[in-house]
Amino acid sequence: MDLADLDPDPVAQLRAWLDDAAAAAPRPDAMVVATATPDGRPSARVVLLRGLDERGLVFYTNRESRKGCELAESPWAAAVLHWWELGRQVRVEGAVEEVAREESEAYWATRPRASRLAAWASPQSSALAGRDELEGRYAEAAARFGGGEIALPVFWGGYRIAPASFEFWTHRDDRLHDRIAYRLTPSGWERERLAP
């Protein structure tokens, strides 16, 4: 991989790699997102990349979950997309903002009904007495909404990682992997090669 192989716009380059991954990987949109507590303790989990444009990368979750609480206290995150089948990885770091409610509502409408009920039922990241408690909460949500519309909960929505940096990585068997970093500067994106 050479600088000339990559689009000068990292969002366009990520979109191209996502297109390649869609043809090769079972979950091309799986993304590890890392957050941190105010005292710097990190936590990471896999979420699904549900939006990508010039403003950044979007994922959705319960805002009262551990990641939601951590983002409320420290609105920065790192994300990693990795496609073993292609020998490629992309790292992204940046500030995080909540997406507009209208954007969350538009995505909410595309979710399967069972997933919308599950969002209402699960007090994500909270301790449960047992599986029965969760299943009871799901039954209550199903009864509450019946066959009608399932409204977007106030505690659920999207987050956008506004990238300050990207790193595109490709595997090499000799471990001399290729790494190209993009950093946002006042004059735009700058690129450089990094040692593996």
Residue of 45, 175, 191, 193 marked catalytic: 175
Q: Is 175 a catalytic residue?
A: yes
Question: Which whole-number Å values give the CA distances from 119 to 49, 108, 157, in the listed order?
Answer: 17, 10, 10
Give which of 166, 174, 173, 164 is closest to 194, Cα–Cα. Answer: 166
Cβ neighbors of 169 (< 8 A, separation 6 or more) are 88, 89, 90, 91, 177, 178, 179
Hey, what are 7's tokens?
Answer: 């689009």
Q: Is-contact 113 54, C-beta < 8 A?
A: no
Distance CA 155, CA 172 (A): 44
Amino acid in the structure at residue 192: E
Q: List the beta strands (DSSP E) in the chain.
A: 30-36, 42-48, 51-53, 56-62, 76-83, 88-98, 156-170, 178-185, 188-194
Cα-Cα-Cα-Cα dihedral sign, residues 50, 103, 75, 121: negative
Catalytic residues: 175
